[in-house]
Amino acid sequence: MRGSLHLGKILGIPIQLHSSWFLIAILITWSLAVGYFPQTYAGWNVSAYWLVGAAASLLFFASVLIHELGHSVMALREDVPVKGITLFVFGGVAQIGREPPTAGAEFRIAIAGPLSSLGLAALFGGLGAALVDSPTLAAPLNYLARVNLLLVVFNMIPGFPLDGGRVLRAGLWALRGNLENATKWASRAGRMIAYGFIGVGIMQILLLGGFVNGLWLAFIGWFLKNAAESNYEQVRLRDMLRDVKARNVMTQECVTVPSGLALERLIEDHVLSSGQRCFFVADSGNTEGWITLNNLRGVPSELRHSLTTSQVMTRIDDALRVHPEDDVWNVLQQMEEHNVNQVPVLDNGSFLGMITRDNMLSNIRLRAELAA
């Protein structure tokens, strides 16, 4: 997620806080300090309620982090890369680099999170019972035991992309041997559950007067619906691009220009006159790099007459590049990971073409229309 604060790494996995996390952390702390704990444990002073509320809130998010670490560690054991874990307004999400290779791997990765939360519930419950004579210590522990149990129950709802939905997908995948079909049905279940959340939320707002709780349920439903649809489209896209290679989607329209060409001449003679958007830069027949409109945009207009192509080009050794036989799905993931809009296709050091987001999306649209 963009706009996230990097906290560090645990077991080599990057941990981030999205900006929305701060809002929900404040809201949870406030609700515990002025609502839950005063109603459950009367007679404390105000500072104690806030201190215990803040501690319980932080430990709650630590529990969410451990839940996501459960998924991530199991994913790594299954040789599935993990890009990172982000804590945000809805709790947390482990960003898995690709789909699990088998239904069994999917099941183990999905169930690892709830099992982690179940273990935390037992741990906090045991500690709370042991410290029953110290209410200020037992109170947050008992709360965390209950909330971790609720996390297990909520996440095991059989709707994609919740953990229960992934378990459902693993079962359907094992039975039918088709990941896309299993994802489609698990996503449908997820959308139905999402609409249920939205419906209950609207009922609470309109009929029961619970505006905040109703709004929150509807918001969760909306998020689950979008996530279910997005995950299905991603699997469908991957299936559509199966066996498609980089050479099938690259463009060969990038012309070669000399390394000493002034940017002003490049723009006048090539960009504006013929609409060219990418160029290979060569010196004595050896390609050194490439230039796209992004490179040109970063140069102030008053400097374009004095700077040359070699001074602003992206050098071969400094950027991502792919082989013509690379799978397009892997290329797309690499482009997303490196946040680039184009990538050159090279074979034994020779430039064959360029893959851009625009021509890749056009190719995907054509394949979708043909498959419809």
The gap from C-alpha 197 to its chain's centroid, in whole angstroms, comes to 23
Taking CA atoms, 353 is separated from 68, 263, 278, 310, 347, in Å, by: 40, 22, 10, 19, 10
Q: Inter-axis angle of helices 46-77 and 103-130, to 10 degrees?
A: 150
Let me know if 133 is exposed, middle or buried by CB neighbors in 10 A (0-12, 13-18, 19+): exposed
Give the dihedral of Cα atoms 219, 222, 223, 228; nearest 10 deg. 160
Cis? peptide before 161, omega within 30° of 0: yes
Catalytic residue list contains 68: yes
Tell me the residue type at 48.
Answer: A
Contacting residues for 218 by C-beta, under 8 A, at least 6 apart: 197, 198, 201, 202, 205
| Residue 52: HSE in the Cβ half-sphere, 13 Å Cα cutoff | 26
Task: Specify whether the CB–CB gap between 282 and 261 falls below 8 A.
Answer: no
The gap from C-alpha 105 to its chain's centroid, in whole angstroms, comes to 20
User: In the chain, which residue ranges form alpha helices assigned H by DSSP?
Assistant: 19-31, 37-40, 46-77, 103-130, 135-155, 163-176, 179-203, 211-240, 246-249, 263-266, 272-274, 293-297, 309-312, 328-338, 357-371
Sequential DSSP letters for 85-146: EEEETTEEEEEESS--SSHHHHHHHHHHHHHHHHHHHHHHHHHHHHTTT-HHHHHHHHHHHH
- Rg value, the chain, Cα: 26
Q: Write out the catalytic residue numbers.
A: 68
